[in-house]
Amino acid sequence: MADQPDSDIRLPDPTELSKNMVKIAAQSQRLVTDFLQRQSANGGAGNADPLNIGGAFLEMTARMMADPSKMVEAQLNLWQSYLSLWQNTTARLLGQETKPMVEPSQGDRRFKDAAWDENQVFDFVKQSYLLTARWMQETVRDVDGLDEKTAQKVDFYTRQFVDAMAPSNFVMTNPEVLRTTLESSGENLVRGLDNMLSDLEGGKGQLKIRMTDMDAFHVGRNVAVTPGKVVCQTDLMQLIQYEPTTEQVYKRPLVIAPPWINKFYILDLRPQNSFIKWAVDQGYTVFVISWVNPDESLSDKTFQDYMVEGILAAFDAACEACEVEELTAIGYCLGGTLMAATLAYMAATGDDRIKACTFFTAQVDFSEPGELGVFIDEEQLKYLEQRMEEHGYLDSGAMATTFNMLRANDLIWSFVVNNYLLGKDPFPFDLLYWNSDATRMPPRMHIYYLRNMYQENLLVQPGALTMRNVPIDLTKVTTPVYIQAGKEDHIAPFRSVFKMTRHFRGPTKFMLAGSGHIAGVVNPPASGKYQHWINAKRKTYDDADAWLQDAEEKPGSWWPDWHRWLSKKSGPKVKARVPGDGPLTILEDAPGSYVKVLSED
């Protein structure tokens, strides 16, 4: 008979298995007791449905029941799929060659173990799950009469449920976990429960899944190590000026404003993939804003404060340090949204210091914000306000969970399997260390951003927003801009980023990079990874898909293309500037003290 199950699996030692089952029972009891005690100490579970999921699914159910025939048809289609799967599986058990009815999508690593294909039972479990998952998602998407927001919420949370119920997430239906459990007599589950207890303790009652070995990295020691000095400091940021590596540099300095949802060193993880180091090596005088990790003392800071005490203060300091009146800038993600508002404010006030600006995966038009829009409705914003009022800030875990849910299989369930079911320690990985080093959010700033950008989309409405009592208008910005987007970006979808080209009135260059929100940006030329698309045609496009149809695919990193663009706008070469040689006093060595403040401190 073909496709026999593995016969070389070592059976468990009965004595060891018995001992480990006792340990598992004791650890499980401790987990439940500890959880209940912490919930009681925190006043209970609180709002049972803070995201208003129940209301969305109730409306969907009512719409479905309004057309029973459609529901019956969907059920019949599902049963027909199951029947065909049974027939295929029976034929395979009888030694016949059959083709799978459904296969995992490309890049789905949940079913990479060979047993998912080679073992008839696990192959049936896998295909049964994939058929059901597909049916569930197609069924909810086919419900008529739902408004766009509700339909998007239902679709998103249906996928969350489908991902959570994957057979790979359970001991008895994951061949790798089952095999490991038998071979180790359950020792993997004992270690997994220890890991879970540790994560609960680290999250103070909330399950904070470790993605990497947090002790393997130290900011300033083996990440964020490009040499530089802190030359300016406000309540909201430290400004780092990096030491030159070339004898001459471009006259106009470059100021980078990263997002303050995470820390700046995503652009300076290691020397071999550091965008900051690479830019310094190309002859730019690089300044980077290192945002503060705010606590309750900064609860009244606003979006405008981030402009004044952040970007504008950085511009002033960079000009003073280099003794120039012109410079260039980069805004990344939320830092790019603020940068766009700052450019509009500068245009309104006659400040023309910025001669070129680059945007990394940044949105200004939030009419199609992607899946993050699922989290932005009035009920959820009120819930967020309530949470932030309790502490004076939004805790870092809330933001981290939101972003992780956008890629739940990669950023949640893969670690559940590795850490808790297989009982392994997470692998040391600098990117995941950075991802876990999250930051808090000041309430007034955060709600302003969510309401005015995501909910109301006011930034692209001329005069709808004011900064320092000055109405701002993106159409008044004539600065040349380079716009980077990631083709697989799930946080700032490239079609949304492309809309920026419609609002600025200066020359714009749009470039689409392979990969997503991080790897699409952090892709050094030496890596040889991914690709990017450039469209050299001199025409205006209404949408990103039309632009992409005419674009040319180029292999590898887009950084050299950006350098060719910016170098022409950075002025002549001058003698390299060393931090401290100019008018500004050195405050401390890079990466500074702000970046080292942990959210748990």
DSSP 371-403: GGGGG-SHHHHHHHHHHHHHHTSB-HHHHHHHH
Would you state the pLDDT for residue 141?
A: 84
Would you state the pLDDT for residue 18?
A: 57
- Co-location of 341 and 468 in the same domain: yes
Domain-embedded: residue 5:
no
Q: To the nearest 10°, report the CA torsion of 343, 346, 350, 355.
A: -40
Would you state the pLDDT for residue 251?
A: 98
- Co-location of 167 and 265 in the same domain: no
Final residue belonging to a domain, choices 183, 205, 220: 183
Encoding tokens for residue 121? Answer: 């039972």
pTM, 2 dp: 0.87
- CATH code of the domain covering residue 502: 3.40.50.1820
- Co-location of 368 and 500 in the same domain: yes
Domain-embedded: residue 310:
yes
Domain that holds residue 460: 228-376+440-596
- Co-location of 177 and 313 in the same domain: no
Q: Which residues pair with 133 in a beta bridge?
A: none
Per the listing, tokens 């930051």 go with 439
Domain-embedded: residue 406:
no
When divided into structural domains, the chain yields a total of 2
The residue among 141, 282, 153, 366 whose CA lies nearest residue 576 is: 282
Would you state the pLDDT for residue 203?
A: 75
Residue 199, C-beta contacts closer than 8 angstroms, at least 6 positions apart: 207, 208, 209, 210, 419
Encoding tokens for residue 387? Answer: 């949470």
Q: Write down how long the chain is.
A: 601
C-alpha to C-alpha distance for 413 and 416, rounded to whole angstroms: 5
Q: Which residues pair with 354 in a beta bridge?
A: 327
* Nearest-10 crossing angle of helices 53-65, 148-164: 100
At 173 the three-state DSSP class reads helix
Mean pLDDT, the chain, whole residue set:
89
C-alpha to C-alpha distance for 474 and 357, rounded to whole angstroms: 14
Would you state the pLDDT for residue 47?
A: 45
Q: Using 70 as the pLDDT threshold, list the residues of the chain that sit under it.
A: 1-54, 57, 205, 601
- Co-location of 140 and 250 in the same domain: no
Would you state the pLDDT for residue 28?
A: 58
Which one is catalytic: 232, 322, 333, 357?
333
Report the chain's terminal Cα–Cα distance, integer Å.
61
- Judge residue 601's burial from the number of C-beta atoms within 10 Å of its C-beta, 0-12 exposed, 13-18 middle, 19 or more buried: exposed
User: Is 322 annotated as catalytic?
Assistant: no
C-alpha to C-alpha distance for 411 and 413, rounded to whole angstroms: 6
Would you state the pLDDT for residue 155?
A: 87
Q: What are phi and psi of 255, to 5 degrees?
A: -110, 125
